[in-house]
Amino acid sequence: MELLDKLSEETDKCIRCGLCQKVCPIYAEMRSEPFVARGKVRLVKEIIKGDLEISDRFKEIMDLCLDCGACVANCPATVKTNHLVLAARAKVTSEKGLPLIMKGALHGFLPNNKAQALAVKMAYFYQHSGLQSVLRKSGLLETLSKDLSQKEGVMPEFAPRTFRSMLSDLPLKKSGKIRVAYYLSCMTNMVNPDLGKAVIKTLEYHDCEVIIPKDVQCCGTPHLAYGDTQIANQIAEKNARLLMETGADYIVSDCATCGATLKKYDEMVSNAKGFSDKVYDISEFLVKIAGLRVGKKPVKGVVTYHDPCHLARGQGVKNSPRQILKSIPGLTLVEMEEADRCCGGAGTFNVMHYDLSMRILDRKITNIQNVDPNFLATGCPACTMQLEHGLAQHSMAVPVIHPIKLLAETY
């Protein structure tokens, strides 16, 4: 039985009350029924019944979803629209296949650690050799393609080398009260190795022995998002095996999106029973398991916090990051309005649907401006990339930083 057929009863739960309209960032911009949860549920229902065929228009509608989970969290009938949308995308992919470039990225790049290492070197050269500056100032990118120029503008600042390549140089503790397997995300590996170092420093300060399996791959979220469930399941099986082989008491992730997917592995992998119970976001782990320890060095300033969708709604973790920020000496947490509203990043959504993504982001930037913070904290690399781009567009010199990096500065 296909996944969509298994979710048939889910479509029957919708009472068509329309409360999803109030919380959907896509609907707020599009103002069109097919793009809100209620509309998507109805379309999926017609597909299951056989009264509607898979078409380019159906694909477009299913693609215009951030998977932010706001509709699910606010649905009185608890319709899992996010599950329906992902299942619909899998149906589209099984019938239509993937575009060649996307297939190459999902099959040949993201699961390939060597390819990631090469990409980091190339991206770093592009950004620091002067080539990027010349192309941007000359306007050549925009002349060639406005779409290309926009996509290039969202590109994050890459590290000179991957965090994975640095691991042999890091003197990890060989003992500790708690054995923790640290899952290395693609973005920490390629873009933010300093976050990886801060995670290790913080865990060891909490008397943890940190084990980092080098051969783990991308968590599989992009594959699920594009309906490539077969590869996603293969990745989940390998990652679960490597992480379980460490013998760790807990598995920790510094990426909201990766953590949300890791917590689904026991549903994706037949021999991974109990795996997800060991998975914690780093903030959740420190507060609930390790017992939060804060150093004495102050970090002075005002910080506001953006809730990543995959952490706040995907994992139900909202208080732990805030508790960490509030505990840091010299730092004042000031909440922004709609802190848990999606920023519009959603993985590659901001690349594939740039204009719509920026309209959604503008609302978030306005809320940040109203606080005027010294720091903007968030626990998701994709959100970080989106927020940094938005702040730069509005000429705001506010660093976007993971709560753990701020915490590590106190030691």
In a domain, 296, yes or no: no
The Cα 371–Cα 358 span in angstroms is 20
- Per-residue pLDDT band for 145 (boundaries 50, 70, 90) equals confident
User: Same structural domain for residues 181 and 275?
Assistant: yes
- At 124 the pLDDT is 93
- CATH number at 13 reads 1.10.1060.10
In a domain, 295, yes or no: no
- At 3 the pLDDT is 62
User: Are β-strands 301-305 and 331-333 bridged in parallel, bridged antiparallel, or unpaired?
Assistant: parallel
| pLDDT per position as a tens digit, 377-393 | 999 999 999 999 999 99
The Cα 20–Cα 24 span in angstroms is 6
Number of independent structural domains in the chain? 4
User: Same structural domain for residues 149 and 168?
Assistant: no
User: Same structural domain for residues 281 and 360?
Assistant: no
- Look at the chain and count its residues: 411
Nearest to 7 by CA among 51, 54, 41: 41
- At 72 the pLDDT is 97
**Which of 154, 176, 196 represents a domain boundary (last residue)?**
154
| pLDDT per position as a tens digit, 250-283 | 999 999 999 999 999 999 998 888 999 999 999 9
User: Same structural domain for residues 170 and 227?
Assistant: yes
